Structure 1
Amino acid sequence: MNQAKLVMAILALAGILAMFSIGIAIAAGSVLGILGGIVLVIAIFGTGFTLKRKFRDRGLL
Protein backbone atom coordinates (compact mmCIF):
# COMPACT_ATOMS: atom_id res chain seq x y z
CA MET A 1 0.00 0.00 0.00
CA ASN A 2 1.50 3.30 -1.02
CA GLN A 3 1.55 6.35 1.21
CA ALA A 4 -1.27 8.18 -0.61
CA LYS A 5 -3.68 5.30 -0.03
CA LEU A 6 -2.69 5.14 3.62
CA VAL A 7 -3.47 8.84 4.04
CA MET A 8 -6.84 8.36 2.33
CA ALA A 9 -7.64 5.41 4.61
CA ILE A 10 -6.82 7.48 7.70
CA LEU A 11 -9.06 10.29 6.46
CA ALA A 12 -11.86 7.81 5.82
CA LEU A 13 -11.59 6.53 9.39
CA ALA A 14 -11.55 10.11 10.68
CA GLY A 15 -14.74 10.80 8.71
CA ILE A 16 -16.42 7.74 10.20
CA LEU A 17 -15.44 8.84 13.72
CA ALA A 18 -16.72 12.36 13.05
CA MET A 19 -20.08 10.96 11.90
CA PHE A 20 -20.11 8.72 14.96
CA SER A 21 -19.57 11.78 17.17
CA ILE A 22 -22.71 13.35 15.72
CA GLY A 23 -24.70 10.32 16.83
CA ILE A 24 -23.19 10.48 20.31
CA ALA A 25 -24.04 14.19 20.53
CA ILE A 26 -27.64 13.48 19.46
CA ALA A 27 -27.93 10.81 22.15
CA ALA A 28 -26.50 13.21 24.73
CA GLY A 29 -28.78 16.03 23.58
CA SER A 30 -25.91 18.42 22.95
CA VAL A 31 -26.70 20.93 20.22
CA LEU A 32 -23.17 22.32 20.37
CA GLY A 33 -21.76 18.81 19.93
CA ILE A 34 -24.01 18.17 16.94
CA LEU A 35 -22.93 21.39 15.25
CA GLY A 36 -19.28 20.70 16.04
CA GLY A 37 -19.58 17.21 14.58
CA ILE A 38 -21.16 18.54 11.40
CA VAL A 39 -18.38 21.10 10.99
CA LEU A 40 -15.81 18.38 11.61
CA VAL A 41 -17.36 16.10 8.96
CA ILE A 42 -17.38 18.91 6.41
CA ALA A 43 -13.75 19.76 7.17
CA ILE A 44 -12.56 16.16 6.94
CA PHE A 45 -14.46 15.47 3.72
CA GLY A 46 -13.19 18.71 2.18
CA THR A 47 -9.62 17.83 3.09
CA GLY A 48 -10.05 14.32 1.73
CA PHE A 49 -11.44 15.42 -1.62
CA THR A 50 -8.76 18.09 -1.99
CA LEU A 51 -5.97 15.62 -1.22
CA LYS A 52 -7.48 13.04 -3.57
CA ARG A 53 -7.40 15.55 -6.43
CA LYS A 54 -3.78 16.45 -5.64
CA PHE A 55 -2.76 12.79 -5.43
CA ARG A 56 -4.54 12.01 -8.71
CA ASP A 57 -2.85 14.96 -10.46
CA ARG A 58 0.55 13.71 -9.28
CA GLY A 59 -0.24 10.15 -10.38
CA LEU A 60 -0.06 8.66 -6.91
CA LEU A 61 -3.51 7.05 -6.98
Structure 2
Amino acid sequence: MKEIKWIFLVYSILAATSIMSIGVFIGEQSLIGIIVSIIVLFIIMGLGFSTKKKRRERGEL
Protein backbone atom coordinates (compact mmCIF):
# COMPACT_ATOMS: atom_id res chain seq x y z
CA MET A 1 0.00 0.00 0.00
CA LYS A 2 1.29 3.44 -0.89
CA GLU A 3 1.92 6.02 1.77
CA ILE A 4 -0.38 9.07 1.73
CA LYS A 5 1.40 12.34 0.97
CA TRP A 6 -0.57 14.52 3.38
CA ILE A 7 0.70 17.86 2.07
CA PHE A 8 -0.56 17.03 -1.43
CA LEU A 9 -3.93 15.98 -0.01
CA VAL A 10 -4.21 19.34 1.75
CA TYR A 11 -3.25 21.21 -1.43
CA SER A 12 -5.84 19.30 -3.45
CA ILE A 13 -8.61 19.93 -0.91
CA LEU A 14 -7.78 23.64 -0.82
CA ALA A 15 -7.72 23.83 -4.63
CA ALA A 16 -11.08 22.06 -4.88
CA THR A 17 -12.53 24.41 -2.27
CA SER A 18 -11.25 27.38 -4.23
CA ILE A 19 -12.86 26.06 -7.42
CA MET A 20 -16.15 25.58 -5.57
CA SER A 21 -15.95 29.11 -4.19
CA ILE A 22 -15.59 30.44 -7.73
CA GLY A 23 -18.94 28.82 -8.52
CA VAL A 24 -20.53 30.25 -5.39
CA PHE A 25 -19.30 33.74 -6.21
CA ILE A 26 -20.55 33.40 -9.78
CA GLY A 27 -23.96 32.58 -8.32
CA GLU A 28 -23.75 35.61 -6.05
CA GLN A 29 -22.51 37.76 -8.96
CA SER A 30 -19.54 38.96 -6.91
CA LEU A 31 -16.73 39.94 -9.25
CA ILE A 32 -14.31 40.60 -6.38
CA GLY A 33 -14.99 37.16 -4.89
CA ILE A 34 -14.45 35.48 -8.26
CA ILE A 35 -11.14 37.28 -8.81
CA VAL A 36 -9.88 36.52 -5.29
CA SER A 37 -10.85 32.85 -5.63
CA ILE A 38 -9.02 32.56 -8.95
CA ILE A 39 -5.90 34.19 -7.46
CA VAL A 40 -6.02 31.85 -4.45
CA LEU A 41 -6.42 28.88 -6.80
CA PHE A 42 -3.31 29.89 -8.79
CA ILE A 43 -1.33 30.33 -5.56
CA ILE A 44 -2.36 26.93 -4.20
CA MET A 45 -1.68 25.17 -7.50
CA GLY A 46 1.70 26.88 -7.77
CA LEU A 47 2.64 25.81 -4.25
CA GLY A 48 1.59 22.24 -5.02
CA PHE A 49 3.61 22.03 -8.22
CA SER A 50 6.70 23.64 -6.67
CA THR A 51 6.51 21.30 -3.67
CA LYS A 52 6.24 18.31 -6.00
CA LYS A 53 9.24 19.49 -8.02
CA LYS A 54 11.37 19.99 -4.88
CA ARG A 55 10.45 16.56 -3.52
CA ARG A 56 11.16 14.91 -6.87
CA GLU A 57 14.59 16.56 -7.01
CA ARG A 58 15.38 15.31 -3.49
CA GLY A 59 14.25 11.81 -4.46
CA GLU A 60 11.32 11.69 -2.04
CA LEU A 61 8.75 10.83 -4.71
TM-score (norm 2): 0.91
Offset of residue 57 of structure 1: 0.8
Q: Name the one with the larger helix percent.
A: 1
Shift of 1:54: 0.4
List gaps (5 residues or longer) in structure 2: none
Moved over 2 A (4+): none
RMSD: 0.9
The alpha carbon displacement at 1:60 in A equals 1.3
- How many pairs does the alignment contain? 59
| Gap regions ≥5 residues in structure 1 | none
- TM-score, structure 1 normalization: 0.91
Match of residue 33 from structure 2: 33
